Structure 1
Amino acid sequence: MAIYRNTFPKVNADLLLAYVGMETDLIFNRGVDLPGFASYPLLETTEGRELLEGYLKDMIALGSEMGAGVILESPTWVANRDRAAALGYTRNSLKDLNQQAVAMMAEMRAAHGDVPTVISANLGPRDDAYTPEAQMSPQDAERYHSEQISALADTAVDVISGYTLAYPAEAIGIVRAARRSGLPVVISFTVETDGKLPTGSSLEDAILQVDAATNGYAAYFMINCAHPDHFRTVLEDRPWMQRVRGIIANASKCSHAELDEAEELDAGDPTELAQQLSEIRHTFPHIMVLGGCCGTDMRHMSKIANISGSISA
């Protein structure tokens, strides 16, 4: 198996910051209605685009302040056919919005060329991330996700990032679709409070299955949409762990089921979260990507950058 055949874009930074908590921040902290948890429709209005650009500017500013690199994540996590159909989007309009998202990010990077910046096209699962009703085969997942990935292949995107994935077969399909389009790809699994994927697979087994089925094409793997308390005990000093290069953590220690039922945002403790991520990175110094997922905002990102960035200094 040829590990790292398709490497991550080279950036001059020891720490890369990534933020994917925008939707919960918009809904709970800013009072923005996001039907279907979709943020890409904001591209269609001046006010919405300004909101999206604000997050990008904040991340670039944080990277500049801390001397860290930044991964800009596109607002396209649910910009796939099935989830978009419920909101009235056609295949052509969806393609256009995916491409608009990356164009916006490319403009932002060009305006701030002094900060090492990676443009990531953010892909989510076809079904609910926590309780997928029907699991696709790798072949079906490749066909399904190829539609969004092929639209993104004609942009300035640097890497495809599959986030909040719940089972290996869908991840395999995403990796194969990215490979077909000649794009680097990162796979991020979510886990429950027991450190296992929502479908019951261990993190180790999921990573090994994806690598075995794709000849190790993914640049690396990550964990997202979970609190460090949920997965710290399953991180081991074993070969598979070398494939885990990023942690994008939730602010809350609640389970996915509890978060789905919550009427108020649980922002947790930004300092404690940053310290926990720093400890994980100290134990596994090959981890290069840290950031915030559900319930986090720039307070959390600033703490993560400050505390974890000291390891790189």
Structure 2
Amino acid sequence: MKEPFVEAAKRRVLLFDGAMGTEIQKRNPRPEDFPDGKDGFNDGLILTRPDWIKSIHRSYLEAGADCIETNTFGSNKLKLDEYGYGKDTVEFNRKAAQLAREVADEFGDNRYVIGSMGPTGFLPSSNDPDLGQKPLDEIRQAFALQAEGLILGGVDALLIETSQDILEVKLAIEGCHQAMEKTGKKVPVIANVTLDQYGKMLLGTSVQAAYTTVSGMGIDFFGLNCSTGPVEMAPSVRWLAEQQELPILVMPNAGMPHNEGGKAIYRMGPDEIAEKMAEFVRNYPNVRMIGGCCGTTPAHIARLRKVVDS
């Protein structure tokens, strides 16, 4: 039988996958590849091009990843509403989780499927006349429906990721617990926040404040992902490691993004990112999971596999 996810993370450092969006772009999708021709609806590719998504999942597992994330970063109800799929939130997420589960199972019992839950696009902590006015119950419910579908699809953990508003993180965590109660199945919850190069979330919340706010809400792991590379994350990772409470997940971009011709370019190669991540694993025993975010590829993950194995 497969070792439970939390127990596996206690026993060994788990390796997550890398970026999904940039791997999709390598396939040069055309409008007709997306549901209803809705160009840019990457999550919708689970319906129209499941072969692509399976191939991406498989490439990361072949590179040595222990964990793959579902292609559901923008699949909370509020995001799916933008594409006309909000009413199908539970089923949509269930299908995405099952698709990832099928691929993970090809590699035996030692691979895990992580349900990806990105932000809604609203900022409930702000006074913005548009982004700050969404009712809190509506945001919570958007996450609860997503988490319900992911749980029904068989994920091993839920990952709240790329979070920029700490109030939204709290609502997402509450939504996860609500979904677990409804489905009668408990799964671990990982809460990741996104910090700028100065260690602050978008609305100014420090890593210390973010951690203190959510660490007692029944989450199993806390982490950082996106926005910066591992160099900029180092002070925040060090502070989190000093708390010696929750296990930590670290998923940086392949360096800071550079704008070239209107596109974000990430220049940190596999060897460079592996060198920095090796320092985290070596120096901080409660960094129990590492992986990559924007700009990271199967080549980056293969190199990180060597870091974990050594």
TM range (shorter): 0.7 to 0.9
Q: Which residue of structure 2 lines up, in the alignment, with residue 85 of structure 1?
A: 81
Q: Which residue of 90, 95, 99 maps to 2:94?
A: 99
Q: Which residue of structure 1 lines up, in the alignment, with residue 278 of structure 2?
A: 278
Q: Which residue of structure 2 lines up, in the alignment, with residue 263 of structure 1?
A: 263
In the alignment, the residues of structure 2 paired with residue 36 and residue 207 of structure 1 have an alpha-carbon distance, to the nearest angstrom, of 37
Letter of the 1:41 partner, please give it.
G
1:126 equivalenced with 2:120 (yes/no):
yes
Deviations 1:154-207 (CA, angstroms, capped at 9, x unpaired): 221221110100122111112122122323211111111112111111111101
Q: Which residue of structure 1 lines up, in the alignment, with residue 297 of structure 2?
A: 297
Q: CA deviation at 1:264?
A: 5.3
Q: Which residue of structure 1 lines up, in the alignment, with residue 53 of structure 2?
A: 52
| Structure 1 stretch displaced more, 10-19 or 243-252 | 10-19
| Structure 1 stretch displaced more, 299-308 or 118-127 | 299-308
| Structure 1 stretch displaced more, 194-203 or 300-309 | 300-309
Q: CA deviation at 1:17?
A: 1.5
In the alignment, the residues of structure 2 paired with residue 118 and residue 260 of structure 1 have an alpha-carbon distance, to the nearest angstrom, of 35
Higher relative contact order (CA 8 A, sep 6+): 1
Segments of structure 1 that go 5 or more residues without pairing to the other structure are: 1-6, 64-68
8 Å contact from structure 2 (residues 105, 111) kept in 1: no
Q: CA deviation at 1:127?
A: 0.8
Deviations 1:68-92 (CA, angstroms, capped at 9, x unpaired): x611200000012222222232412
1:306 equivalenced with 2:306 (yes/no):
yes
Q: Which residue of structure 2 lines up, in the alignment, with residue 3 of structure 1?
A: none
8 Å contact from structure 1 (residues 38, 77) kept in 2: no
- Label 1:96 to 1:87 Cα distance change in 2 as closer, same or farther (>3 A): same
Letter of the 2:145 partner, please give it.
E
Q: Which residue of 176, 183, 186 maps to 1:178?
A: 176
In the alignment, the residues of structure 1 paired with residue 260 and residue 77 of structure 2 have an alpha-carbon distance, to the nearest angstrom, of 23
Query: Secondary structure, in 3 states, of the residue corresponding to 2:98?
Result: helix
| Structure 1 stretch displaced more, 136-145 or 301-310 | 136-145
Letter of the 1:81 partner, please give it.
K
In the alignment, the residues of structure 1 paired with residue 122 and residue 260 of structure 2 have an alpha-carbon distance, to the nearest angstrom, of 11
Deviations 1:46-77 (CA, angstroms, capped at 9, x unpaired): xx2111111222222233xxxxx611200000
Under a length normalisation based on structure 1, what TM-score does the superposition of the two structures give?
0.81
In the alignment, the residues of structure 2 paired with residue 233 and residue 108 of structure 1 have an alpha-carbon distance, to the nearest angstrom, of 36
1:145-156 superposed matches below 5 A: 145-156=143-154
In the alignment, the residues of structure 2 paired with residue 260 and residue 174 of structure 1 have an alpha-carbon distance, to the nearest angstrom, of 34
In the alignment, the residues of structure 2 paired with residue 38 and residue 59 of structure 1 have an alpha-carbon distance, to the nearest angstrom, of 22
1:148-297 superposed matches below 5 A: 148-182=146-180, 183-212=187-216, 214=217, 217-225=218-226, 226-234=228-236, 235-236=238-239, 239-240=242-243, 242-254=245-257, 262-263=262-263, 265-297=265-297
- Label 1:37 to 1:232 Cα distance change in 2 as closer, same or farther (>3 A): farther
Q: CA deviation at 1:237?
A: 6.8
In the alignment, the residues of structure 1 paired with residue 159 and residue 41 of structure 2 have an alpha-carbon distance, to the nearest angstrom, of 17
Q: CA deviation at 1:16?
A: 1.3
- Label 1:141 to 1:120 Cα distance change in 2 as closer, same or farther (>3 A): same
- Label 1:306 to 1:239 Cα distance change in 2 as closer, same or farther (>3 A): closer
Query: Secondary structure, in 3 states, of the residue corresponding to 2:72?
Result: coil
Under a length normalisation based on structure 2, what TM-score does the superposition of the two structures give?
0.82
Segments of structure 2 that go 5 or more residues without pairing to the other structure are: 181-186
- Label 1:261 to 1:126 Cα distance change in 2 as closer, same or farther (>3 A): farther
| Structure 1 stretch displaced more, 288-297 or 95-104 | 95-104
Deviations 1:105-126 (CA, angstroms, capped at 9, x unpaired): 2222332215x11111110111
Query: Secondary structure, in 3 states, of the residue corresponding to 2:239?
Result: coil
How many positions carry a matched residue from both structures? 287
- Label 1:25 to 1:237 Cα distance change in 2 as closer, same or farther (>3 A): closer
User: Aligned-pair RMSD on alpha carbons?
Assistant: 2.8
Deviations 1:200-252 (CA, angstroms, capped at 9, x unpaired): 1111110111124x2xx101111100211222123227653542511111013
In the alignment, the residues of structure 1 paired with residue 140 and residue 81 of structure 2 have an alpha-carbon distance, to the nearest angstrom, of 19
In the alignment, the residues of structure 2 paired with residue 200 and residue 162 of structure 1 have an alpha-carbon distance, to the nearest angstrom, of 19
In the alignment, the residues of structure 2 paired with residue 36 and residue 166 of structure 1 have an alpha-carbon distance, to the nearest angstrom, of 25
- Label 1:106 to 1:128 Cα distance change in 2 as closer, same or farther (>3 A): same
1:42 equivalenced with 2:45 (yes/no):
yes
Q: CA deviation at 1:263?
A: 2.0
Indicate the percent of aligned positions where both proteins have the same amino acid.
19
In the alignment, the residues of structure 1 paired with residue 178 and residue 69 of structure 2 have an alpha-carbon distance, to the nearest angstrom, of 22
8 Å contact from structure 1 (residues 164, 190) kept in 2: yes
8 Å contact from structure 2 (residues 18, 297) kept in 1: no
In the alignment, the residues of structure 1 paired with residue 104 and residue 305 of structure 2 have an alpha-carbon distance, to the nearest angstrom, of 19
